[in-house]
Amino acid sequence: MTGLSVLVVIPTTRGPLRLRALNPRPGLPAPAAFADGDYRPLPWSADYARLCAPGGPLARLDGPRTPHELRLSGSFDAGRSWEAPVCFAHGLAARGHRLAAEPAQADLILWATGAVDLDLAVLPGDYALLDKIERSRALLAEAPDVPLAVLLPEGPERASAEAAFRAFERAAAPRVLPSGSIWEALEALTRPAEAIPRDPLREPPRRLWRLALPAGAVAAAGLVALVTLGARQAALVDPDVPLATGTASAEPAPTASPSPPAAETSLALRVEELRAPPGSSCRRVAFGADPPERRPVAREDGDRLAPSRLVPELCGLAFATAPGLRLAIGPELRAAALPPVRLADGAQGYFLREGGRQNLVYAVQALPEAKASPEAGAQAPGARLVHALMR
């Protein structure tokens, strides 16, 4: 076994594609790309051949000397954002790693998008990152314990896209690779294990030990280090944050027990409006160009909050919980909002979709962590609040 198994995801605005295989085919007249079950080269195969041509970008990456067959789970109509993930696949194969066809078969998932130039620099641009991330959610959820690395080109959505990935519920935080060039990103992805500080007090999950042990080749050391580092990052907690957010649950908020007193609720759960500052817009706020203004939502009666008006400057809502609690957001709000992002203070931010600005009522709960240890002492009480968005 010469390396780890990597699933390379090619995200598109119609849904993610899996890079199934990359194999030398000396009988081909030129490098070509194919969809599963089809012998006809895909329409953009000529561009792939140019990418692999002598003197082309991949020739600088120890690219193939013989024509290669690139096999994908599907195709797309146009665009160049496939170039970065395909270059990654060639670079990983040249370093002794294998390509996985499905998430469950992978030791690492690589999500990358972007066009490249002759020197393999990743070109900045508007790559519809948030749309691609949302459409990739189901695929990535198939293997939440597999470490994830992402390449996000510079552009108007990069900051929001990074925040969206970090809000995913995964066993380890995603690794955001340098976006300057494929060279730089590959170096970060395959850096030798000795270059990454180790924490002898923490032990990777059992699955990660199983992956690391057989990968004795030098070419695999960097990815094993990435897998281990991801597990360490997931275990870190910042003790200096006075009010940490819980993880947003993908489950509908369950039926709650009677509401706790108002003082306890305010300590356990905080709800704020996210508004565009004067002279800005919700689009600029959602893309991270301007910070939102945050206004606490007042209690009205019992477990109900005062309604929020759907004025143009209302961009979304932020939620934070006391330590030891997790968030459960009602499906009505989740359906009307973009994927949650983690704000600077750790709160979960839900930015409203353009088509989601409609009257709705949802519930939000702060629930005790299911895996909390009895020896950890008393936890903050949970809370349940009901909130309406109205025109």
State pLDDT tens for residues 210-256. 333 233 333 444 554 454 444 433 333 232 333 333 444 433 434 44
Find all residues with CB under 8 Å of 272, minimum gap 6, and list them.
294, 295, 296, 297, 317, 318, 319, 347
Q: How confident is the model at residue 204 (pLDDT cuts 50, 70, 90)?
A: very low
Per DSSP (E only), the strands in 122-218 are 148-151, 175-176
Question: How far is 130 from 152, CA to CA, in rounded Å?
Answer: 11
pLDDT of residue 266: 55
Nearest partner of 209 among 224, 195, 223, judged by Cα: 224
Q: Given a cut of 70, is residue 261 above it in pLDDT? A: no
Q: In terms of DSSP bridges, do strands 360-368 and 325-329 run parallel, antiparallel, or are they unpaired?
A: antiparallel
Q: How confident is the model at residue 382 (pLDDT cuts 50, 70, 90)?
A: low
> Do 96 and 137 touch, CB atoms closer than 8 A?
no
* Mean pLDDT on 29-52: 86
Q: In terms of DSSP bridges, do strands 325-329 and 248-249 run parallel, antiparallel, or are they unpaired?
A: parallel
User: Which secondary-structure segment (H or E) carries 166?
Assistant: helix 158-166
Q: Look up residue 342 and give its two tokens.
A: 């983690």
Q: Running DSSP on this structure, what letter comes out for residue 3?
A: S
Q: Comparing 21-30, 155-164, 271-280, which segment has the lowest mean pLDDT? A: 21-30
Please state, for a pLDDT cut of 70, what percent of the chain lies above it: 74
pLDDT of residue 267: 65
pLDDT of residue 69: 87
Q: Given a cut of 90, is residue 379 above it in pLDDT? A: no
Q: Is the pTM of this model over 0.85?
A: no
Q: Comparing 195-204, 262-271, 290-299, 328-337, which segment has the lowest mean pLDDT? A: 195-204
Backbone angles phi, psi at 73, to 5 degrees: -75, -10
pLDDT of residue 94: 86
Q: How confident is the model at residue 258 (pLDDT cuts 50, 70, 90)?
A: very low
* Mean pLDDT on 346-359: 86
